[in-house]
Amino acid sequence: METKRTVLCGANSYEEKYYFNEEFSGIPQMVKDELKVLCVLFTEECGGILTLEFQPDGTLLLCTRADDYDYLYDEIETGLQIRRIQKEKKTLLESLEMYYRIVFLGEDS
C-alpha cells in the first residue's frame, strides 16, 4: 500500500523549472528562497528531478528520479549530494518537519 506524500517543493532539470507548493505559503520568504537555491543547484549539478516531500507522519524526504534516457544522471553522486544536504541543512530540514507537524498535523511542539 502506497502512502500519500505531500510535495513541499522541487526542481526539474529537464524542463528547467522550480515548483513550490502554495499550501506552504506561511513559510518565511527567506526559507522559500533557500529551498529554491537548494533544489535548483542540486538538479543543475546532478540532473534529474528533486522533490522535497512530507510523509504522512511529517518526516521530510529528499526524493530524486531520472528519466530512463538520461545517461548523465549519476546515482552515486546523487546519493552523496543528498547526504551532504541532509548534513549541511539539518537544522533547516528539522525546522520544516516541525512546521509541518504543528501546522498541518496539529501536533504540539
16-42 pLDDT per residue, tens: 999 999 999 999 999 999 999 999 999
85 strand-pairing partners: none
Residue 109 has pLDDT above 80, yes or no: no
Residue 2 has pLDDT above 80, yes or no: no
Residue 1 has pLDDT above 60, yes or no: no
Are 65 and 22 spatial neighbours (Cβ–Cβ below 8 Å)?
Answer: no
pLDDT in tens, 77-107: 999 999 999 999 999 999 999 999 999 999 9
pLDDT in tens, 57-67: 999 999 999 99
User: Does pTM surpass 0.75?
Assistant: yes
Half-sphere exposure of 46 (CA within 13 A, CB side): 27
Least confident of 50-54, 71-75, 102-106: 71-75
Are 47 and 70 spatial neighbours (Cβ–Cβ below 8 Å)?
Answer: yes
> Residue 72 — pLDDT band, cuts 50, 70, 90?
confident
From start to end of 1-109, where are the E strands? 6-12, 17-20, 49-54, 60-65
Of the candidates 93, 86, 92, 6, the residue with the CA atom closest to the CA atom of residue 54: 6
Q: Give the separation between CA 73 and CA 65, rounded to whole angstroms.
A: 9
Query: What are the residue ranges spanned by the domains of the chain?
Result: 6-103
What mean pLDDT do residues 48-53 have? 97
